Chains A and B, each alone.
Chain A
Amino acid sequence: GENVEQHPSTLSVQEGDSAVIKCTYSDSASNYFPWYKQELGKRPQLIIDIRSNVGEKKDQRIAVTLNKTAKHFSLHITETQPEDSAVYFCAATPTTSGTYKYIFGTGTRLKVLA
């Protein structure tokens, strides 16, 4: 089937430490892997994405890596700050008969402890 597994479900780090969230996907035809941040009571917001022809992408304190052979990708947040506390979702785009859809992982609740 088409699914995206995400780990861990909760993650607590001290302010200034790094946080890593990992996802695996099942459909090898997936070609786009976005990450979303959702604050309490708000809608998910895109924070970074990576396409299948790229192995790594960085945007200030946030980076994403992709291993297509192993079908997994990871979000790395360095120098964490209290405002990074939120739920993070990964997603992949499996295809059925040439039509893409967006399937999400179950989320990681990140707590940054001051």
Chain B
Amino acid sequence: NAGVTQTPKFQVLKTGQSMTLQCAQDMNHEYMSWYRQDPGMGLRLIHYSVGAGITDQGEVPNGYNVSRSTTEDFPLRLLSAAPSQTSVYFCASSLILTGDSPLHFGNGTRLTVT
């Protein structure tokens, strides 16, 4: 049981490049989400999904796209990277949709945009 797996662990991009951060969970969790963590800003919700085929915007969705074609996977796409997207990104999942189950976090992806 691997839990929540994120790849890559580190990534450096040039401004304007695109990339996809991968997230997979093997716990059959319906709820999945992406956060970015910046110093002094805490964990800010980018996008979340309550099941396959369903996604919604969080607090800071601009510049990011997501899709949820399967229960297990929830990739985060940066279409045209900007220096403001330099951050640590965490994927997290939760078992049930009633909002009273803990989030399980992946190990994070440290992204630098130059």
Residues of A whose CB lies within 8 Å of any CB of B are 6, 9, 30-32, 34, 42-46, 49, 51, 89, 91, 93, 95-96, 99-107
Contact = CB atoms under 8 A, between A and B. Distances in A.
A107 B102 contact: no
B43 A44 contact: yes
Contacts, number: 66
Contacts of B108: 43
**Size band of the interface chain B makes with A:** 20 to 34
Residues of A contacting B: mostly: strand
B105 interface: yes
A31 B48 CA distance: 18
A6 B99 contact: no
A93 B56 CA distance: 15
17 contacts: A6-B42, A34-B103, A43-B106, A44-B43, A44-B105, A89-B43, A91-B103, A95-B99, A99-B50, A100-B31, A101-B33, A101-B48, A101-B56, A102-B94, A104-B44, A107-B40, A107-B42
